[in-house]
Amino acid sequence: MEEEPTRIMLAVNQSTIKGYPHPSISSKRAFEWTLQKIVRSNTSGFKFLFLHVLVPDEDGFDEVDSIFASPDDFKELKKRDNARGLHLLEYFVNRCHEIGVACEAWLKKGDPTEVICLEVKRVLPDFLVVGSRGLGPFKKVFVGTVSEFCAKHAECPVITIKRREDETPDDPVDD
């Protein structure tokens, strides 16, 4: 009866509190929710496609105290960024492996909203799951929301999963 598994794309990002390789509260919540409410015990019926978008530091502030003495120093830097992102993906791939659900994971660089929509176009998932901090309209103005943009522009069905209230940090902009 079952042929191809349902391909669920999940856009994941790192914790703003603990940094790489820790997943953000909302990414983790979106993943666990999908397992619990959609995949359930039907582990062979689904495949996760994890995408993490590395955001190039806009102003280079992250590297203000670094010393660059040779071209290799810049290469090292790029490697380090990629490695951080890979460790984040590793978290999700490990969880899938434990549970026995198929998955694929990959990194891209750029503006998350744009890249996620482009990747949807390219890999054609059955649907996209995005986590959301569930910020009110006031906070949204300042921080933007990737989830809202994707829900509007991605060319596949999108399901947005908010964090649970008891998981919201003191500053809700944190994640």
Sites of contact with a copy of itself (CB under 8 A):
1-2, 6, 33, 37-38, 40-42, 45, 126-127, 151, 157-162
Measured from the CB of residue 151, what is the shortest distance to a copy of itself in angstroms?
7
Minimum distance of a copy of itself from residue 1's CB (angstroms):
5
Of 6 and 168, nearer to a copy of itself (C-beta) is 6
Q: Measured between alpha carbons, how far is 80 from 128 in angstroms, rounded to an integer?
A: 28
Q: What's the CA angle centered on 158, arms 133 and 24, to 5 degrees?
A: 30
Q: How far is the CB of 69 from a copy of itself (least distance, A)?
A: 50
Residue with smaller CB distance to a copy of itself, 85 or 134: 134
User: What is the rounded distance in angstroms from the CA atom of residue 90 to the CA atom of residue 98?
Assistant: 12
Nearer to a copy of itself, 105 or 129 (CB): 129
Cβ neighbors of 159 (< 8 A, separation 6 or more) are: 127, 128, 129, 130
Least Å distance, CB 169 to a copy of itself, is 21
Q: Which residues on neighbouring strands pair with residue 104, listed in sequence order?
A: 49
Neighbours of 32 (CB within 10 A): 13
What residues are paired with 92 via a beta bridge?
none
Indicate the residue among 84 and 162 with the shorter CB distance to a copy of itself. 162
